Amino acid sequence: MAAILIVDDDNAIRDTLYALFSDDHLCHAANTAEEALAFLREQSYDVVLTDISMPGLSGLELLSTVRQSQPQTPVIVISGISDQTHAEGLKRLGSFDYILKPFRLEVVESSVARALEYGQQLKEKRHANEGGA
């Protein structure tokens, strides 16, 4: 069972994503990036799903913090900005994936599945390197 942190100030989106993943995974939901940071101080997550535009700290600032504190954790950014340059910039900043609103649930499920697989590969590689050292 993976741990997923869902961050979105839109109750409907946050609740929909929580319902989508909570049957199979440990999920925490945060209304703000500040709330998400409190969760991140308490535990690590296998995937972080975050909106980009929120009051207070943005999803971009959250992405930056996760990249520094938990660099192995894939961060999937959800945004209403349909600009390829924006999406490429987020990837350069370390986002695992970029999902455009409005989104289909299958797209989010697929992205999270890829992120979990990626995270598992990183753990296996790290474990193999530690065992071989």
* pLDDT at residue 131 in the model: 67
Instruction: Please tell me the predicted confidence (pLDDT) of residue 7.
Output: 98
pLDDT of residue 75: 96
Q: Which CATH number fits domain 3-132: 3.30.70.260, 3.40.50.2300, 3.40.50.2000, 3.90.1150.10?
A: 3.40.50.2300
Q: What is the pLDDT of residue 84?
A: 73
Question: What's the rounded Cα separation, in Å, for the pair 11 and 17?
Answer: 10
Kind of pairing between the strands at 47-51 and 3-7: parallel
Contact call for residues 9 and 51 (beta carbons, < 8 A): yes
Structural domain boundaries of the chain?
3-132
Please name the residues in contact with 73: beta carbons below 8 A apart, sequence gap of 6 or more.
Answer: 44, 45, 46, 47, 48, 66, 119
For every one of its 133 residues, what pLDDT tens digit does the chain have, with 9 covering 90 and above?
A: 999 999 999 999 999 999 999 999 999 999 999 999 999 999 999 999 999 999 999 999 999 999 999 988 999 999 887 777 777 788 888 899 999 989 999 999 999 999 999 988 888 888 788 765 5
